[in-house]
Structure 1
Amino acid sequence: MARKRPHPHDLLLAAAGWVGGVAVWAVGLNDSYHDLPRALTLIPLTVMACTTVLRRSAPRTALAIGTVTVVVDQTTVPNVATVILFADLIYAAALYAPLRTARRVAPACVVFTILSTVVALSVLRDVKALIVGVFAGLVTLTSAWTGWIIRTHRDEAAAERLRAEQTALLAELDRRSAVEQERARMARELHDVVANHLSAIAIHSTAAMTVAKNDPEATSRALAVIRESSVQGLAEMRRLIGLLRGSGGGETAFAGDHEGAQAAVPRLDSLDAMLARASRSGADNGLEFSLDDRRLNGSGRQLPAPVELAAFRIVQESLTNALKHAAPGMVKVRLVQSTRRLVVAVESPYVPGDGPRAPGAGAGLVGMRERASLLGGSFEAGPRPEESAGPGEGADGKTACWQVRAELPLGDPDGAQGSGRPIHRTT
């Protein structure tokens, strides 16, 4: 890019060129083609030196003035310093001029060489005039090609630096995205792991305080559920901490508690144990739980690990919400698997307008929706339409039905379908 002001180095180069030209003139190394005063050589030399100051700030203007000046110099009283400064102007034009102009410098030098040769032959009418053309070609074309080569290398280096900066920026963006995704994943895991057990603890601790004097047996049951939920929550937390540390903590979740260790492994095969715990937690509130498992048992095809984990967590969070909000009745968990997707549905009774039995922040629905979205699936949660929810629901204050439904893609449907025999269990 052209500079608005002369570069300090250009000022030094112009001064050095002018001093060198004066030295050549002083020692008498330049001869005149005509009977002209030798001091006349100082005029083109001075003009060329002043033009050199513009070699970066205005390379096209400098080259135009320099071309006229060197022609005058060579046809009057030649000075080698003037020719050297002219060669530098060609070099500067190829290096600093706009790209469109720089590309034309070399062809212009070829034309200038041809014209110089033709003019020399026509004036001298001697084969020796070819030396003038060779000299003009060497001076101009060498300078132009040198400038263009250096310009190309500089442009390539600048492009490489830009690509390196872009690569570093993309790497930083990827790193930040990975950190944000990992934080979101950890937030979902922590919420799903802790909320289920702490909700049960909150509900039954409240019940224990309420009936502590009047019903010792109910208090004992509540304390048993609190202990079980605490043990399960500790096992889940140890499994998660082990995974974060990379120590395989999920396989040895809680030594000394076999049930806790098994429940800490997030597999759909452990839903029976989860529903049993939920049944014990919700018994005092009139809640019952059933499982309708229509997975392709016996097909020999395992569910992808991310799908199984997401389905397990969605069921776990749905049961937690049922313990907080559901009205007395049956909570139904249904799993339906095809060759392409797994459908997870949880239905629970509720009375519109009732407050929750335990506090919550609403992060559970967000986490379930995120899990389904990350797998390319869909998620819905809300009251079922009145025509499909069963009799007795709605604005009259009777029990309505709340449904959570997620569809999780399984990817490439390889393998046989199997029997698909439904398994119905009620807890």
Structure 2
Amino acid sequence: MPSAVPLPPRDDGLIAAGGLLGGLVLWYFEIYTTVPRSADLGTLPLAPLAVMCVAVLLRRIGQPWALLIGVGALVADQVIGSLLATVLMFTDVVYASVLYGRPGMARHVLSLSTVATVGVTVWALAAHPEPESLLVGVVCALVTIAPAWSGLTIREHREAAREERLRAEQTALLSEMDRREAVAAERGRMARELHDLVANHLSAIAIHSTAALSLGDQKAAQEALRVIRENSVQGLAEMRGLIGLLRAGEGEAGEADLLAAPRLDSLDALLDQTRANGAGSGLEFVLEDTRTPGLRLPAPVEMAAYRIVQESLTNTLKHASPGTVTVRLAHEDGGPLTVEVRSPCETGGRPRAPGAGAGLVGMEERVALLGGAFQAGPVTGPAGRGPRTGPVPARAQTWQVRAELPADVKGPS
């Protein structure tokens, strides 16, 4: 289906109508800007006027044809007998050709206007070598160069404004993307902290509450209730600390976060708590720390290592079979901090407490944020393959969590 022919804008119609009315008044009173060659021109001067009105109607929708029509009408107007209205409308056509025409047309119109002005000035001086002939060049410049230069200036300003708007929109879009990424990162960080702070205590509560309900021994039930109470109190205290951190101001939050970040020096206390929570499960916990005594690593690295050990120990309480759980820490000068947790495991057993797998995801995210390497999986199996991620093979006996953390990281964990 052919597209409809665009109609001239309303303003262009008003300009053409005003120019036609002004030209009719000048023609009626025989007011010409050049001396007519004949005393009785009749309606002949109205022909260039009408053609120039058509060019004005096409000034926005018909470039470069509007300019070509305007040039022809101006030449005819100068030959027959010039009306000022026709000349003024031509200046508007030149202005519109630069402003609304194609990008290359703007430069060409200004160049051709300059050439035409110089040519007309030379011709006038050659025909009448008098100073007054220079006025012809001045008039020609006002009719051609001035409107072309004005149109080019406005066009450049419009293009600059358009580029600034696009740049502002891009900046706003990038800012929104950064904001969303920051919100997502903060939500992920909060999810990891909530999981690591609460999951350990809730797992112990679930395990010992099950034992308290299933055991008939009153002493064992009381011991289980004691562990449940301790974990409830500790979990509530840590939750209150996290809520206070979230409610603190920007400066207070950074200070509180630094104070609340756990250090590897607290691993002994963590293992003691895990031993108490895992009493009666047949698990023994051993810490092998070969780091240089007194060595302090950046807070984000120590916090990530602590949380990895904490979550690994929580998983052992849920899934590990009776045996020895070994926590190893190793670090050499210039090398990464290596965290390794090994626990006995067997297939077919039911977990002591339910889990959703969020702990492994959180550990992997922590390591990835620091640019380290993370592995979790069985270390022995039918084919004797090394650590991998996936279901435990039928003959697997040891589950290993291993993380290598760069020791020179300064960013948040």
Same fold (TM over 0.5): yes
Cα shift at 1:388: 8.7
Cα shift at 1:269: 1.0
CA separation of 1:145/1:395 partners in 2, compared to 1, >3 Å: closer, same or farther? Answer: closer
Cα shift at 1:353: 2.3
Give the aligned partner of residue 401 of structure 1. Answer: 398
SS at match of 1:156: helix
Matches within 5 A, 1:51-70: 51-70=55-74
Cα shift at 1:127: 5.3
1:110 aligns with 2:114: yes
Instruction: Point out the more displaced range, 286-295 or 244-253.
Output: 244-253
Contact 1:240 1:250 in 2 (8 A): no
Q: 2:277 aligns with which of 275, 281, 302?
A: 281
Give the aligned partner of residue 358 of structure 2. Answer: 363
Give the aligned partner of residue 335 of structure 1. Answer: 329
CA distance in 2, matches of 1:93, 1:75: 24
**Residue 364 of structure 1 aligns to which amino acid in structure 2?**
G
Instruction: Point out the more displaced range, 35-44 or 286-295.
Output: 35-44
CA distance in 2, matches of 1:283, 1:152: 80
Cα shift at 1:21: 1.1
CA separation of 1:109/1:249 partners in 2, compared to 1, >3 Å: closer, same or farther? Answer: closer
CA separation of 1:395/1:84 partners in 2, compared to 1, >3 Å: closer, same or farther? Answer: closer
Give the aligned partner of residue 6 of structure 1. Answer: 8
Give the aligned partner of residue 308 of structure 1. Answer: 302
Cα shift at 1:111: 1.6
Deviations 1:396-418 (A, max 9, x none): 86x711000011112279xxxxx
Deviations 1:59-97 (A, max 9, x none): 211111111110111122011111111111111011110
Give the aligned partner of residue 33 of structure 1. Answer: 36
What value does the CA root-mean-square deviation take over the aligned residues? 2.5
Instruction: Point out the more displaced range, 332-341 or 165-174.
Output: 332-341
Give the aligned partner of residue 320 of structure 1. Answer: 314
Q: Which runs of 4+ in 1 moved over 4 A?
A: 121-127, 247-253, 386-389, 394-397
CA separation of 1:251/1:327 partners in 2, compared to 1, >3 Å: closer, same or farther? Answer: farther
Contact 2:318 2:353 in 1 (8 A): yes
**Residue 225 of structure 2 aligns to which amino acid in structure 1?**
L
CA separation of 1:251/1:58 partners in 2, compared to 1, >3 Å: closer, same or farther? Answer: closer
Give the aligned partner of residue 378 of structure 2. Answer: 383
Give the aligned partner of residue 231 of structure 2. Answer: 229
Q: 2:212 aligns with which of 205, 208, 211?
A: 208
Contact 1:378 1:406 in 2 (8 A): yes
Cα shift at 1:122: 5.2
- Where does structure 1 lack aligned partners over 5 or more consecutive residues? 254-261, 414-427
- Where does structure 2 lack aligned partners over 5 or more consecutive residues? 387-391
Deviations 1:379-402 (A, max 9, x none): 10000135599xxxx9786x7110
Contact 1:340 1:412 in 2 (8 A): no
CA distance in 2, matches of 1:182, 1:20: 70
CA distance in 2, matches of 1:250, 1:18: 75
Instruction: Point out the more displaced range, 240-249 or 128-137.
Output: 240-249
1:137 aligns with 2:141: yes
CA distance in 2, matches of 1:105, 1:78: 23
Contact 2:24 2:46 in 1 (8 A): yes
SS at match of 1:193: helix
TM-score with structure 2 length normalisation?
0.89
Give the aligned partner of residue 389 of structure 2. Answer: none
Instruction: Point out the more displaced range, 403-412 or 91-100.
Output: 403-412
SS at match of 2:279: helix
Q: Which has the higher contact order (CA 8 A, sep 6+)?
A: 1
CA separation of 1:370/1:204 partners in 2, compared to 1, >3 Å: closer, same or farther? Answer: same
CA separation of 1:326/1:246 partners in 2, compared to 1, >3 Å: closer, same or farther? Answer: same
Give the aligned partner of residue 425 of structure 1. Answer: none
Cα shift at 1:118: 3.9
* Identity within the alignment, %: 53
CA distance in 2, matches of 1:190, 1:184: 10
Deviations 1:178-229 (A, max 9, x none): 1111111111111111111100000011011111x3x222112211111111
TM-score with structure 1 length normalisation?
0.86
